[in-house]
Structure 1
């Protein structure tokens, strides 16, 4: 759920036109804690045992990438990095980004007074069996997974299909 105009927290080192200079965790967490307390706490899927955490935000290709965990959802986020000025795009627009883990589809949004962001829902609502500690660990692992190179068999032929994989090492493949 995007923040409303009354949910603004000063963002240190932030210029909406030029991206975010420092990790966005410093202002994302207070902003979403306020949203949790004011707008979300009475909803049936709200998990009061799950903290608000901005996990693993790191610069990747000059953009901030990390996970936002709240008592109602877990999402992968991208925010403009230092000196980045994103092209105007309609809120709700879908954009596929090529990350090391593969292509990931994000939805564009706007944080009131903070500028644009991209989010990809990973779990919404949160699994009822997930503890707060497990949810934080999951968020941290999701960032690592998004930035991890895919594991592939180094001996596999390029663009190997299922048949090539199953018959590899048994002689020449025929079409």
Structure 2
């Protein structure tokens, strides 16, 4: 249970993994920093993006006063966020405890700059909590019959 924004704790934990386990792998992008982006409380849980030299993921962690049932690492579950249903995998890391992760990009593109990746991570965290935009030109009732119906306006009289 994290009572404050988990960004600092996450960055420290993922930096340790970067230095001890990941830095020698061929898909490691040394120019990309370890950065926790856009973490905020959503329905009493911490939600944001984790950027590392090897991946970009959407993460959910227990918020203040929240105690999660311990799950098996690797277990899959879906959460409904304002942006839609998102599939997560249970992860666990020393210093962070259990968290949910949804991989968005892994491995990272070779030639993408650090600034671009940070901006992408920050914007993705915001988008996850944004309501989807509907096409207002599409009929509310997409059945075949509704497509051929002439829309009426309340101020028009037949």
TM-score normalised to structure 2 length: 0.87
- The answer (yes or no) to whether the contact 2:13–2:93 under 8 Å persists in 1 is no
Match of 2:23 among 41, 45, 53: 41
Following superposition, the deviation at residue 112 of structure 1 comes to: 2.5
Q: Tell whether 2:153 aligns with 1:171.
A: no
- The answer (yes or no) to whether the contact 2:78–2:85 under 8 Å persists in 1 is yes
TM-score normalised to structure 1 length: 0.79
- Residue deviations 1:46-89 (CA, integer Å, cap 9, x gap): 00100000000000000000000000000000000001011222
Looking at structure 2, the residues matched to 110 and 96 of structure 1 have their Cα atoms a distance apart, in angstroms, of 17
| 3-state SS, counterpart of residue 79 of structure 1 | strand
Looking at structure 2, the residues matched to 115 and 37 of structure 1 have their Cα atoms a distance apart, in angstroms, of 19
RMSD of the TM alignment (CA)? 2.0
Q: How many residues align?
A: 151
Looking at structure 1, the residues matched to 29 and 95 of structure 2 have their Cα atoms a distance apart, in angstroms, of 27
Looking at structure 1, the residues matched to 95 and 145 of structure 2 have their Cα atoms a distance apart, in angstroms, of 53
Looking at structure 1, the residues matched to 61 and 93 of structure 2 have their Cα atoms a distance apart, in angstroms, of 10
Indicate the residue corresponding to 2:114 in structure 1: 132
| 3-state SS, counterpart of residue 20 of structure 1 | coil
Q: Tell whether 2:100 aligns with 1:118.
A: yes
Rg comparison, structure with higher value: 2
After TM superposition, the structure 1 = structure 2 runs for residues 86-101 of structure 1, keeping only pairs within 5 Å, are 86-101=68-83
- The answer (yes or no) to whether the contact 2:76–2:88 under 8 Å persists in 1 is yes
Change (3 A) 1:124 1:164: farther
- The answer (yes or no) to whether the contact 2:35–2:51 under 8 Å persists in 1 is yes
- Residue deviations 1:127-173 (CA, integer Å, cap 9, x gap): 11211110100000110110100011356544536x579x47x637x
Match of 1:67 among 45, 49, 63: 49
Indicate the residue corresponding to 1:32 in structure 2: 14
Following superposition, the deviation at residue 42 of structure 1 comes to: 0.8
